[in-house]
Amino acid sequence: MSLKSKISPTSPWRIILPTGIGTAFSLVGDSALYTVLPTHTAVAGVALVSVGVLLSANRFIRLLANPVAGWVSDRRAKRTVFVLSLFLGAFSTAVYGLTTGFWPLLIGRLLWGIAWSGIWVAGNGLILESAPVADRGHWVGRYHLFFFLGAALGAYLGGYLSDRFGFNQAMQVATLLGLAGALIAWLLLPSSRQPVIIEEDPPEEDQQQTSPDQRRKTRWGELLSASAVTGVNRLVVAGILTSTFALFLKAMLGDSIEIGDRLVGVSTVTGLLVGTRILLGMLFTPLLGSLSDRAANRWRVVAGGLLPGIAGFMLLAVNLPLAMLLGLPLTAITGSSNQVLSTALIGDLGQRQRHGRYLGLLYTIGDLGSAIGPPLAFALLPIWGISGLYWLNAFLFALLLLVSLRWVRKRRTINALQE
């Protein structure tokens, strides 16, 4: 069955660009806080032992906020949910820059968690409802490029501004950027009453893989498997790797390394490597999304994208500088692949009017993984060591590979029967 849909004269970038800029600028404050708060506790007025609570509070509140954001996004204009969440995100960052002490910062983190649920669920929902089915992965990849750009910008800018002007001043700059992103989205994002995609036939929610009977019901097996891709990815990358990488480098390099005739602190090296890893992931998002659109089965690209991550964590577990320099970029490829393709799969598997709630489920499982990752890592660290944790990461990605290959075979069988 051919899909008869066309794009209106409005360019896809009229959706992707304001949505992406708003998302990227909203992330600067959060990413900067992760980078600088552990080393600026005195200025922020918090104890070092409370840093873990503050940095994870937003993830725990999202376990409740994501389903609500998905439910609201299915019943109200996603544009409205997205823009209001951007303004709330800017306000939460202002709390970091204008206050000190544990309780104000905790309130700011909780507000940010609620805001990010609306930003990420409604933002991805806008992309999925606007994208042509045949280009869904490419649109999602373009949008997620801005996610990685904002995270990298926050890491670089937060460290530089905090060292140059101070912690509060850095957060105030991040607030202005978040507010600018909200205004850009508000002014430039088209109204949902003027859709970009004009459907002449009923939308084929999964042109590649489904039969008419399957389109009438939710394919929960694949939906939960796609959610597991995000959950494990967040556990492994945002949870275990991010929380232990500074310790990993310190154990390997010491407190500083000599570059030319200068000593560079390990924290600076950590920031540079983490930011560079994020940028590498950003480069692969449009490519992987487009590749999945052209594959007969999107799960094949998911499976292929997991292979670099398995190899990358095996190299990191060797605990040698050269192996680390080879392994870290490989983990970036898989991290971006998992994030983009799991979102695109939600578009394939769910009816358009249910995208919001399915995205809410997807990101709730992802936030659960990122929330339990750091405490799990530090509980196992004395027993297994950092190398053992990275072997665990490789094993978890290998399990995802087996799940993906199962769906590759099942989809191939279904397609053969349809022919």
Residue 252, domain CATH:
1.20.1250.20
* 172 shares its domain with 276: no
With respect to residue 206, please indicate whether it lies within any of the assigned structural domains: no
* 108 shares its domain with 176: yes
* 332 shares its domain with 228: yes
Query: Residue 71, Cα to own-chain centre: how many angstroms?
Result: 20
Q: How far apart are CA 335 and CA 327, in angstroms?
A: 13
Tell me what pLDDT residue 200 has.
Answer: 37
Of the residues 140, 173, 190, the one at which a domain ends: 190
Tens of pLDDT along 207-241?
444 444 344 466 788 889 999 999 999 999 988 88
Domain count, the chain: 2
Taking a C-beta distance cutoff of 8 angstroms, is the pair 59, 89 a contact? no
* 251 shares its domain with 375: yes
Q: How far apart are CA 367 and CA 56, in angstroms?
A: 10
Tell me what pLDDT residue 159 has.
Answer: 75
* 129 shares its domain with 256: no
* 275 shares its domain with 184: no
CB atoms within 10 A of CB 268: 14
* 326 shares its domain with 225: yes
With respect to residue 198, please indicate whether it lies within any of the assigned structural domains: no
- Report CA torsion sign: 379, 235, 307, 409: positive
With respect to residue 77, please indicate whether it lies within any of the assigned structural domains: yes
* 245 shares its domain with 124: no
* 159 shares its domain with 249: no
Taking a C-beta distance cutoff of 8 angstroms, is the pair 397, 334 a contact? yes
Q: What is the 3-state secondary structure (H, E, C) of the chain?
A: CCCCEEECCCCCHHHHHHHHHHHHHHHHHHHHHHHHHHHCHHHHCCCHHHHHHHHHHHHHHHHHHHHHHHHHHHHCCHHHHHHHHHHHHHHHHHHHHHCCCHHHHHHHHHHHHHHHHHHHHHHHHHHHHHCCHHHHHHHHHHHHHHHHHHHHHHHHHHHHHHHHCCHHHHHHHHHHHHHHHHHHHHHHCCCCCCCCEEECCCCCCCCCCCCHHHHCCCCHHHHHHHHHHHHHHHHHHHHHHHHHHHHHHHHHHCCEEEECCEEEEHHHHHHHHHHHHHHHHHHHHHHHHHHHHHCCCHHHHHHHHHHHHHHHHHHHHHCCHHHHHHHHHHHHHHHHHHHHHHHHHHHHHCCHHHHHHHHHHHHHHHHHHHHHHHHHHHHHHHHHHHHHHHHHHHHHHHHHHHHHHHHHHHHHHHHHHHC
With respect to residue 238, please indicate whether it lies within any of the assigned structural domains: yes
Compute φ and ψ for 256, nearest 5 degrees. -160, 160
Query: In which domain, by residue range, is 167 found?
Result: 15-190
* 250 shares its domain with 398: yes
Tell me what pLDDT residue 212 has.
Answer: 43
pLDDT in tens, the chain (419 residues): 333 334 343 567 889 999 999 999 999 999 888 877 877 888 999 887 787 788 888 988 999 999 999 999 988 899 999 999 999 999 999 999 999 999 999 999 999 999 999 999 999 999 988 888 888 888 998 999 899 889 888 877 887 788 788 889 999 999 999 999 999 999 999 875 444 443 433 444 444 444 443 444 667 888 899 999 999 999 999 888 887 787 788 788 776 666 666 776 666 677 678 778 888 888 888 888 888 888 878 899 999 999 999 999 999 999 888 999 999 999 999 999 999 999 889 888 766 777 788 888 898 999 899 888 888 888 888 899 999 999 999 999 999 999 999 999 887 776 666 65
Q: Taking Cα atoms as reference points, which of 116, 136, 111 lies closest to residue 126?
A: 136
Tell me what pLDDT residue 279 has.
Answer: 80
With respect to residue 102, please indicate whether it lies within any of the assigned structural domains: yes
Residue owning tokens 């509070």: 57
Of the residues 171, 190, 209, the one at which a domain ends: 190
With respect to residue 95, please indicate whether it lies within any of the assigned structural domains: yes
With respect to residue 210, please indicate whether it lies within any of the assigned structural domains: no
* 176 shares its domain with 262: no
With respect to residue 204, please indicate whether it lies within any of the assigned structural domains: no
Q: Taking Cα atoms as reference points, which of 285, 257, 261, 286 lies closest to residue 272?
A: 257
* 179 shares its domain with 316: no
Tell me what pLDDT residue 387 has.
Answer: 94
Q: How far apart are CA 45 and CA 367, in angstroms?
A: 27
What would the two tokens of residue 80 be? Answer: 């409205």
